[in-house]
Amino acid sequence: MPLEKFCHNFHLLLEKKPERSELFTSGHQLLQELLSEAKWFGKVLCRLVSDPAFLEMQTPSVFSNEVTLYRSPDKTFAVLGYIWEPNSLGAIHDHSSWGLIGSLFHPMLEVKYRRLDEGKVEGYAELQKVSSGVLKAGEVQPILPLDAGIHQTGTAGNQWTFSLGIYGKSIRPGYIQFFHPWEKRVIRAYPPKVFKKVLALRALASSPEIWKGDISENSLLQSLPDYLAGEFQRSS
């Protein structure tokens, strides 16, 4: 199935406002059809090298190996590709939306975790490994949002691997979380442009002498979403 047809059909599916079980069942079938032919992704790789406009349209992500393939105008879903070098693993992370992931070319590894703590202590998290499995080319797995979808993905061996992810509308915008279970630590991971704002807010909160008097704290924070205002308040 061509990517354009997949996106059209996925739009039609979401317009029906299906229950999540139906969304995963029907979405699973659609994604499997998209994964049935890997050659179209080779053209995407060529465009990344030779098409400056395509490279420019790439959305900055917390994942450096992510490729933006499609984002729906109504922001109901996005189609993202991932380029995995041999023997590579991504960070353990959660998701801010439901999702479907699948391997396009060569097997990919998925390790699932569950959170043992209640998430009430800033920066602290206890994880337990639940399962580890390999998705062969064409296989699909659903992803749940927030703590229900903590996992780690990467290659299942020493081959270049390409995978796809379909993600819905965010229920926790702005960031995802990276987990470091051996240190019992969790951090917020922001896209590069947003992270510059985060750094600026942390710096302003820590150095009020260089800006107070020129602008009020209320003026600084009033137009910001809660997650960014929180970065300032936690650093004060």
Structural domains in the chain plus CATH codes: 3-189 (2.60.120.10), 192-235 (no CATH)
Q: What's the confidence (pLDDT) of residue 210?
A: 84
Question: Taking the CA of residue 224 as centre, how many other CA atoms within 13 Å lie in the half-sphere pointing to its CB?
Answer: 19
- DSSP assignment, residue 121? S
Q: What's the confidence (pLDDT) of residue 109?
A: 97
Instruction: Give 216's pLDDT tier (boundaries 50, 70, 90).
Output: confident
| pLDDT tens by residue, 110-125 | 999 999 999 999 999 9
For residue 209, is pLDDT > 90? no
CB-based contact 136:107 (threshold 8 Å)? yes
Instruction: Give 219's pLDDT tier (boundaries 50, 70, 90).
Output: confident
Instruction: Give 16's pLDDT tier (boundaries 50, 70, 90).
Output: very high
CB-based contact 68:111 (threshold 8 Å)? no
Rounded to whole angstroms, the Cα distance separating 23 from 21 reads: 5
Phi-psi region of 17 (alpha: psi -120 to 50; beta: other; left: phi over 0): left
78 or 216, which is more confident: 78
Question: What is the average per-residue pLDDT within 164-187?
Answer: 96
Helix (H, G, I), strand (E, B) or coil at 10: helix
C-alpha closest to that of 33 among 10, 61, 66, 65 = 10
Q: What's the confidence (pLDDT) of residue 189?
A: 97
For residue 91, is pLDDT > 80? yes
Question: What is the average per-residue pLDDT within 117-143?
Answer: 96
Residue type, 23: L
Rounded to whole angstroms, the Cα distance separating 71 from 124 reads: 33
Rounded to whole angstroms, the Cα distance separating 15 from 59 reads: 25
- Compute how many other C-beta atoms are within 10 angstroms of the C-beta atom of residue 125: 25
Q: Which two structure tokens, joined as six digits, stand for 11?
A: 């739009």
C-alpha closest to that of 7 among 42, 31, 43, 36 = 31
For residue 213, is pLDDT > 80? no
pTM for this structure? 0.92
Rounded to whole angstroms, the Cα distance separating 206 from 179 reads: 25
Lowest mean pLDDT across 79-93, 140-154, 208-222? 208-222
For residue 131, is pLDDT > 80? yes
Question: What is the average per-residue pLDDT within 62-79?
Answer: 96
Name the average pLDDT for the chain: 94
For residue 215, is pLDDT > 90? no
Q: What's the confidence (pLDDT) of residue 221?
A: 87
Whole-number percent of the chain with pLDDT over 90: 88
38 or 96, which is more confident: 96
C-alpha closest to that of 27 among 41, 16, 40 = 16
Question: What is the average per-residue pLDDT within 165-188?
Answer: 96
Instruction: Give 208's pLDDT tier (boundaries 50, 70, 90).
Output: confident
CB-based contact 229:198 (threshold 8 Å)? no
